[in-house]
A and B are shown apart, each in its own frame.
With several copies, the nearest count.
Chain A
């Protein structure tokens, strides 16, 4: 028996696997039993109802996708009245993801959706498709600090700000979030990118830029998660290009407490249950009885000292 249980701060999860916001919905419940997940993370909502950006919204590369969706939202009332009750039928903790245009609205929305059934709130300060050129609160340590602070004063639920890989100073943003009282970090959201159809001369998503996600981004996303793990003392939830147990293990070895699966859910909607099974098999094969033993277990290469051959 392998013990897959992990804790993300005060939140206990049956296993470290959950969907990434926006890549999972009620429809998935028609494909597999959601009770096998570590947690359920819903698509980012805003207080108001939003349509999102014009299509085409998706382009595809050999091992990655470019999505430009722009946070369409059915609004917070729909979320409370329909979405929360739907997921309350399942045992994994429900994590809401929210976005807003101002620091105050982040606080207000956090307060509003702190209803029974919601177990933590992700602060999506990092959507690359909202503002021009992918700027977001999460690009700025100070703005991130303010958002988290506002949410922390508005709710008693754990607050998990989601980092953007487009910030050069992601470690500073992570530290600011921690200082503001963040309970965990989700690292990271999609990478701002673009592609052009050379036959039509047009951008491949109407919004010109979108978020690059999927397997090809994993080495970048792992690096950022590792940098955050090194910098902060709160739990880090790894996200980016994870589609198999081996992918998830890279993030766990780098020190992440849990992982989120995004684009791989589109490649196969049963990616997460299979990943969980394969984690068990990996642990059995390596004689590991608790998945927590893997967390942060990365080992360095032996150093080579060119000055002294005798060391070799």
Chain B
């Protein structure tokens, strides 16, 4: 049974707070104080009404969204995501919310950040957000990365292997791991050097950053495998993480099996509710590592972070 499914006793104290839903979104933009009587501030998930600080292009395809966020949102950890009610676009509007991984959380500054690729109706709507606009972000949601404990005296060494927007999901893990005393090596893959994102953010966090690109022909699986082996030889990797790419998944499954270390992957799937109710977001997983039998699991509630060996390629 998934942890998240375990019965949670409803708490007695009830605080009226603002948590306008998407239907009231436009009004909320003005009012900020919309609320419903059944809101309970102590509950872990909320429709967080955030205020845009900035929403800038960082390259021709990606925008970086920085928000002021209420307390519930600030509890997000690496690998978790928010289900965002995207504002309507010019002549279109997304009916459902859109899942976005948390890219950075700074509780002291009451700030959360997202990194997103502008592609369809929802993200085009997001791209229209301007400073002082408000945004309804349901969350934090899902199961984040689980950094394994290391033996006392030993240093954890976390490998982050990411391509494209995968970065958004992995970046906060670097921060968390380094805060917990781990060393972090991040291998960033992109089409071209100009599309590499977050290298600076990761370096500032204290990660060793290695960049590979299609343009320089350094991003093929063979070279990446060689790179990982070099990293591992220099200091043994204790936990390997990735997301997004099928090619990278197989390589990393093989290498972690060989190294005998745990690994996790953040996955995506089209979503309905994002709170485990609709079963729209399933993907097939091995029932357990090595099993030939598959079972569907919900990316939103059982994930989006899953055990590397239980994941199937697609």
Contact = CB atoms under 8 A, between A and B. Distances in A.
Given A89-B9, A267-B96, A57 B282 contact: yes
B37 A27 contact: no
Contact of B271 (A31, A58, A64): A58
A309 B22 CA distance: 40
A25 B277 contact: yes
B39 A52 contact: no
Contacts of B37: 36, 273, 277
A132 interface: no
B45 interface: yes
Given A270-B19, A306-B293, A32 B272 contact: no
A31 B43 CA distance: 6
A87 to B, nearest CB: 9
B303 interface: no
Interface stretch (A65-73, A144-152, A174-182): A65-73
A33 B40 contact: yes
Given A30-B44, A31-B45, A270-B36, 5 more contacts: A43-B277, A67-B280, A266-B274, A269-B275, A307-B293
Contacts of A62: 92-93, 95
B165 to A, nearest CB: 19
Q: Which of B94, B136, B278 has the most CB of A within 10 A?
A: B278
Interface of A: 22-36, 43, 51-52, 54-65, 67, 69, 72, 82, 85-86, 89-90, 214-215, 243-244, 263-271, 273-274, 276-277, 304-310, 312
B259 interface: no
A51 B296 contact: yes
B280 A57 contact: yes
A52 B278 CA distance: 12
B280 A58 contact: yes
21 contacts: A24-B277, A25-B277, A26-B7, A27-B4, A27-B273, A31-B47, A33-B14, A35-B10, A52-B279, A52-B296, A57-B282, A61-B95, A90-B10, A268-B23, A268-B85, A270-B36, A270-B38, A274-B23, A277-B36, A305-B294, A308-B292
B97 interface: yes
Residues of A contacting B: mostly: loop
B43 A23 contact: no
A26 B294 contact: no
Given A26-B7, A306-B293, A82 B275 contact: no
Interface stretch (B148-156, B212-220, B235-243, B283-291): B283-291
A27 B40 CA distance: 14
A189 B1 CA distance: 29
A274 B36 contact: yes
B277 A270 contact: no
A309 B273 contact: no
A82 B40 CA distance: 24
B46 interface: yes
B250 to A, nearest CB: 12
A189 B313 CA distance: 35
B21 interface: yes
B270 interface: yes
Contact of A304 (B22, B138, B284): B284
A69 B36 contact: no
A57 B270 contact: yes
A25 B296 contact: no
Contacts of A310: 292
B10 A57 contact: no
Interface in B41-98: 43-47, 85, 92-97
A48 B285 CA distance: 20
A28 B23 contact: no
Nearest to B301: A27
Contacts of B313: 312
B96 A273 contact: no
B251 to A, nearest CB: 17
A33 B19 CA distance: 13
A60 B94 contact: yes
B282 A52 contact: yes
A306 B19 contact: no
Given A30-B8, A56-B270, A309 B95 contact: no
B24 interface: yes
A43 B298 CA distance: 15
Q: Which of B7, B92, B275, B279 has the most CB of A within 10 A?
A: B279
